[in-house]
Structure 1
Amino acid sequence: MRGTTPEDGHAWRVFHATGVAPGAEPRPLPEPPPWRRFAGGPVLPPPPDDEAAALRRLGTVDAVPQLEEEAVDVVNAALVLRRPLLVTGPPGVGKSTLAYLIARELGLGRVLEWNIVSRTTLRDGLYAYDALGRAQAIAAWRAGAEGSLAAVASREEAQAAPALGDFLTLGPLGTALLPYGRPRVLLVDELDKSDIDLPNDLLHVLENGSYDLPELVRHPDESALVHTSDPGLRAEVRHGRVECREFPVVVITSNGEREFPAAFRRRCLPLEMPAPTRAQLLAMVESHFRALPPYAESLVDVFTERIAAGGTHSLDQLLNAVQLTTEGAFEADGTGRRLVETLLRDLSKGR
């Protein structure tokens, strides 16, 4: 029997954490398991790209893995099983950047961001209904229709009433669950800052891949065009129900400030995001600056030493410090040392 090689062991992977697509065509994803298949439709056109946002997050990456092997396997397991990723770790280690890495490498289009605060509810993520705006529009339409009836032969020739869909906007979660032919990427950022009920409220939606818009369920029309979280785009919703065709790639981040219910954790794959290695940091700096600036390696060394000492530091701090050293005659090891120290300060100190 032929022995397996490392390449054989990784052949099941579709994601390699490089952020680089393998070719012109997006990499195909494996078929979902039978219990994670959904029947939403009709299938919508592919979502738009947002390369500007990806560049801000990732830079111009080379084919260098930005995660450890074990983390890459967890991400691939989530892709195969169509389960959300629950990514934990200290602030600034690249948890939210993972969503952009997946989207760019697999060609999944614009990342949908849902930023969580203490007042966030499930409905905020699903959709918003501008009831006041609709009432005002109907009142204005009625006033205009009454004034124009004398000039038209029948009421049918008058201007149509404002459509209900004009006042409904799907949120990031609601848009991610539309019936796309390939999964959307949804970033649920800092879920640990939410109200205590939100993780439990998410259970039904994450399990069933669907939700209802009560305003449309009660409406006599069979379908409505509603706004989505993609700027300028609309989607058709039939019978007031949205169901995905492909379950989205859901990346949920947490800074570890609270525990989540067991029922919620059971539906997610956990990924503890470690601090990046020196080699990974150098690759990240090079991807943002296209080449390593003169002081980059020494700053990366200082940065890794401080992380190893137990401090709380963000990749953003390192990039800011490197950027400063590229400005003219700035001397990171001379008169500018104090300012560099300020940029690379320990965030756990509170000032």
Structure 2
Amino acid sequence: MTEQASAARSVTPPSWRVFHATGQPSAGAAPDLPQPPPWRVFSGSPLQSSPPDDAAAALRRLGTVQEGPQLREEEINAVNAAILLRRPLLVTGPPGVGKSTLAYLIARELGLGRVLPWSIVSRTTLRGGLYEYDAIGRAQAIAAWRAGEAREPGSEPASAPDLGDFLTLGPLGTALLAYGRPRVLLVDELDKSDIDLPNDLLHVLENGSYEIPELVRAGDTEVSVFTDDPQGRAVIESGRVECAEFPVVVITSNGEREFPAAFRRRCLPLEMRPPSREQLVSIVVSHLGRRPEGVDDLVEDFVTRLEGGGTQSVDQLLNAVQLTTAEGFEADGEGLQLLRMLLRDLSKGR
């Protein structure tokens, strides 16, 4: 093998990888995803319409597309393994390192439409992620419908309120609908959840399906319900939802607690490290659309703080660069004090 051929081979990504962390959408059709293993094949129906895109959210999170990968090789491999094996990614790392941004990077590059964000707090429940049922609203609508019929005897009866108009699927419930291509679900900061939520997720993540008891009891063959997408609706058959393609699930954690072994067994771990100097400059350019004067000094200061054991967020660097590029701003005296405040160590709480 010639030296030139050897060099070309070294930069060619392995064929099993469909995600290269560039954030660059395909110029033509979205790339085909690898076939799932036999134990992760699902057969949900009916197939739903293609999900909407959300270019504005992707732009806020990622900025414009830049050349070159935005992740390290081992991080890219972990994402591709999760896509191939149809398993959730459990992403850990310090705050502000870009864990939740990863979901938007995957969605934009692979053309998977709008990310479904599910922000976790201590009061979050599995049912809230799957669906919400407005029982009171439906009871009031039925009472109003019956009252209207009683006031207008002999007229053509109005239709009773549709059960589906009072059911809204949550982010998790929407992600598990039957789509031709997987949705991207962002389960953000799962470590802030109630202690039972990770265990409650086990069945759903393993089986890729769930039931809505209110629809099962109603006995309707097909019901149209609202989804987590803006103005979105989906048809559910016999009260049961099953995916056709297991979603790309990105679960983030700041490491505030340990998860049960049974939950971790169903996930692929990915520990994200702070971006390199080159990646930080690329992030700044992608968000600002240019390389401002003095950005290298700010990046060097930011990296020095990280290497000194500080807890820093990339957002802090972006804010500092934006401030220094403001017309009339001077990075001395009070300006310098303000910059130090923006780049403060987040672990110290001040």
> Distance in 1 between the 2:100 and 2:331 partners?
30
Whether 1:278 aligns to 2:277 is yes
Matches within 5 A, 1:215-234: 215-234=214-233
- Give the Å deviation of 1:12: 1.7
List per-residue Cα deviations over 1:282-304 (Å, max 9, x = no partner).
Answer: 00000000101112111111111
> Distance in 1 between the 2:42 and 2:203 partners?
14
Task: Give the corresponding residue for 1:250.
Answer: 249
Task: Give the corresponding residue for 1:40.
Answer: 44
- Give the Å deviation of 1:332: 2.2
CA RMSD of aligned residues (A): 1.4
List per-residue Cα deviations over 1:7-66 (Å, max 9, x = no partner).
Answer: 456222100001002312111101111110100011111100000000000000212211
Task: Give the corresponding residue for 2:119.
Answer: 115
> Distance in 2 between the 1:12 and 1:122 partners?
33
Whether 1:129 aligns to 2:128 is no
Matches within 5 A, 1:61-100: 61-100=65-104
> Distance in 2 between the 1:205 and 1:90 partners?
28
Query: Structure 2: where are the runs of 5+ without partners?
Result: none
Task: Give the corresponding residue for 1:138.
Answer: 142
Match 1:54 to one of 58, 64, 85: 58
- Give the Å deviation of 1:222: 1.1
Letter of the structure 2 residue corresponding to residue 12 of structure 1: W
> Distance in 2 between the 1:271 and 1:96 partners?
12
Letter of the structure 2 residue corresponding to residue 193 of structure 1: K
Task: Give the corresponding residue for 1:162.
Answer: 161
Task: Give the corresponding residue for 2:31.
Answer: 27
- Give the Å deviation of 1:108: 0.3
Task: Give the corresponding residue for 1:192.
Answer: 191
- Give the Å deviation of 1:335: 4.5
- Of all paired residues, the percent bearing the same amino acid is 69
Letter of the structure 2 residue corresponding to residue 84 of structure 1: P
Task: Give the corresponding residue for 2:327.
Answer: 328
Whether 1:287 aligns to 2:286 is yes
> Distance in 2 between the 1:120 and 1:271 partners?
24
Whether 1:205 aligns to 2:209 is no
Q: 3-state DSSP class of the match of 1:149?
A: coil
- Give the Å deviation of 1:164: 0.3
Letter of the structure 1 residue corresponding to residue 270 of structure 2: L
Task: Give the corresponding residue for 2:181.
Answer: 182
List per-residue Cα deviations over 1:172-231 (Å, max 9, x = no partner).
Answer: 000000000000000000000001110000000000000000000000321111000001
Q: 3-state DSSP class of the match of 1:128?
A: strand
Letter of the structure 2 residue corresponding to residue 115 of structure 1: S
Instruction: Judge conservation of contact 2:16–2:34 (CA < 8 Å) in 1.
Output: no
Q: 3-state DSSP class of the match of 1:236?
A: strand
List per-residue Cα deviations over 1:141-167 (Å, max 9, x = no partner).
Answer: 0001111223x2xxxx31100000000
Task: Give the corresponding residue for 2:234.
Answer: 235
How many pairs were matched up? 346
Query: Structure 1: where are the runs of 5+ without partners?
Result: none
Instruction: Judge conservation of contact 1:21–1:27 (CA < 8 Å) in 2.
Output: no
Instruction: Judge conservation of contact 1:58–1:101 (CA < 8 Å) in 2.
Output: yes
> Distance in 1 between the 2:334 and 2:132 partners?
53
> Distance in 2 between the 1:303 and 1:218 partners?
58
Instruction: Judge conservation of contact 2:46–2:237 (CA < 8 Å) in 1.
Output: no
> Distance in 2 between the 1:8 and 1:59 partners?
26
> Distance in 1 between the 2:203 and 2:67 partners?
38
